[in-house]
Every structure is written in C-alpha cells, then in structure tokens.
Amino acid sequence: MTRIIRISLWHVPLTSHQAYYMADGKACDTVETVVLALDTDDDLTGWGEVCPIPHYLPAFARGVAPAVRNMAAVLLGADPIGPEALMARLDRHLPGHVYAKSAIDIALWDLTGQVAGLPLHALLGGRRAQTMPLYHSITCIAPAEMARIAREAQAQGVTQFQVKLGADADWQADVERLRLVREAVGDGPLVYGDWNCGATSLDASRVGRAVADLDVMLEQPCATIEDCARVRAATGLPMKLDESAHDTASLLAAHALGCMDAVAVKLSKFGGLSAARRARDLCLHLGAKMCVEDTWGSDITTAALLHLGAATEPARLMNVCDLSGYVAPRLAPDGPARKGGRIAPPDGIGLGVSPDREYLGAPDVILD
C-alpha cells in the first residue's frame, strides 16, 4: 500500500507579463504561489499548487504552510489513493482553510492517477473534449488600450474576452471599455465585464443599462449574491458569478435568485479538484455554464483545472483559463500552452506535468 512519507513546500514569486489591474485596488503584478509535493514510500511524487491573489478571497499564501503543518499529522503515513477519503479526514481534523487544502487535494489526485496509470481526466468523469476554449482576461486600463489587447488576442484565435472594470471608479469609463472591446472583436465573440466585487449595485446598474443594447454579460459586480441579483434584474443582462459562489450553499442561493447564468468554478475557491468536481456536477444540474479555472498560478494548477475541464460536458463548459500563460516563470517545461485560442490538458498519467526541481531549489518547508 502506498503511503505518504514527506511533504515539501516552496514559495515561488510569479510575475505577470503585464501588470493586471482590477476594481477596488486589487492587482496582480508579482504574486507568490505555493508549490506542494507529496512523496510516497514507493518513490512517487504528487504535485499541488495554490496561488491566492491579495485582497481577493479569505486566503493568504503564507498561511498555507502553517495549515499544512497542522494537517501533517493526518497526511504523513496515510494512503493517498482515492483523494476524497483522505480529504474528509482532513476536513474533520481542520475545518475550513479550503485554499490550503486545494494544493493537497491536487497532489493526491496526481498520485492517484500515477498509481492507476491514467490521466486525471479519465478519473474525473472521462474525457469529453480534446481541446477547450480559452478566454482572455484584459487588465483594466485605458479603454482604447483594452480594445487593442482584445484585437491582438482575437488574432491569436481567442473568441471570449473578460473585460476588467472599475479600477478607476469611473462608471462611464467602464461603459466605454465594454463598448470599445465589443466593437473591436465584432459580433459573435463572448464579451463580459468583471468588477471582482468592486462596484455598488447602483454603479453597476448604470453601466449595465448604458450597454443594454450590446451583446455583453456582467460578472460579479458586487460582493453579495443579493446585490448581484439586483443588478441582473435592473439591467436584464446575463450574470456570471465568481467570488460569491464558493460552496454548495452559495451555488444553490445564486440559482434561486436567478443570477447565475454562468459561474467560475475555481479549484482553490472550493478546496481542490474533489470539491470542484462536486460543484461542477451541481452546476450541471442547475443549468449554469461554467468557467473551470483557479484563482491564479502556474503549470501545476493549470494542468489540474484543464483535466477537470476536459471531463466536463462541452456544451456546459463556457471556457477554461491558461493561468500559466499569464505569468513567469513557467514551473514545468512540459506544461500546457494555448494553441489557436484553445488548450488541451497535458498528456501523460496523473497531472501530466513535471515541475523543474532544479529551478525550485531546496524546499522552504519539509515535513516527514
């Protein structure tokens, strides 16, 4: 029987290729990701990653190691195969702290895939798509520059565009952002404006009404599901939820209020692949389209989300995200890369990626 004998952690700064501005002062420039490795007594290594964005959700990169130290008593010596059984033990041992558990859960799935000799998508429901559509997220800067970025991404095959809004607290500038990007990419491609909880229902409603003649969607304007529902009702525009949809209760509440036309199923927001798969299956029942992704990160979490996306009904998968394509360095030379606006999960068993241990160097934390 396979047993976990060692837990290693690294803290790695990831720098965005372009500073990434969002509403309410949120930004991604250089953000620390946490890489986790679980070594077993039969010489296997399972890899996990979690990369919280500052001020985004109740998650802190430097909080991962203390949480993992607390869970080490359960992890060390445990059988990692069949992740949900061990994750249930961790939930009883340390309630909450889902972002720290996300990296562990991904690593457990990686080990399970390696022992089974199968890629993760085969274990997460079976492969439903060879490639998946990407969206391109556009930092909130001057409207004309955002339109230029959209045109460049479209020339590379991208057909879905997330327009960040609210960085300058100017609702009329947000109207122009949506209008110029919609004009830049023409009819057909999906365009949606994302406030990351940074708007009041009043300002978001003003923006939505001003662009109600356009084919656009709104994303998470306000911090609560109730306020997002008010914006949905006031504007008549479809709504995607992100931050406020993070567990079964929030998904059911959003569906009941009629403001979850689409939803971001992010691994670290729910607590890893196990919990995200349950969220995916509930969304299939509720009728919401899904963006399967994660908060931020590099090749490990990107590989994990792509496997879950590939095992999701294509008609219900709105898009996925190549997070590792937005940042440097790349942590795995065999990590996935976009091609023509689409992307595929890595080949190989488990996650299918091999992080560069030489680049990572000595771990910051070793528990054995």
Active-site residue list = 164, 266
3-state secondary structure of 143: helix
CB 301 within 8 Å of CB 323: yes
The identity of residue 4, as a single letter, is I
DSSP state of 350: B
Cβ-based neighbour number of residue 94 at 10 Å: 16
**Cis peptide preceding 329, ω within 30 of 0:** yes
Does an H or E element contain 138, and which?
A: strand 136-138
168: burial class by Cβ within 10 Å (0-12, 13-18, 19+)?
Answer: middle
Could you give the CA distance from residue 71 to residue 18 in angstroms, rounded to a whole number?
36
Please, which residues have CB within 8 angstroms of residue 97's CB and are 6 or more apart in sequence?
A: 63, 67
Beta bridge partners of 280: none
Q: Show the tokens assigned to 353.
A: 């990626």
Sheet arrangement for strand 190-194: 136-138, 160-164, 190-194, 217-219, 239-241, 262-266, 289-293, 317-320
Question: What one-character-per-residue DSSP string does 153-202 give?
Answer: HHHTT--EEEEE--TT--HHHHHHHHHHHHHHH-SSSEEEEE-TT-S-HH
> CA 220, 264, 331 angle in degrees (round to 5)?
120
Could you give the CA distance from residue 272 to residue 225 in angstroms, rounded to a whole number?
23
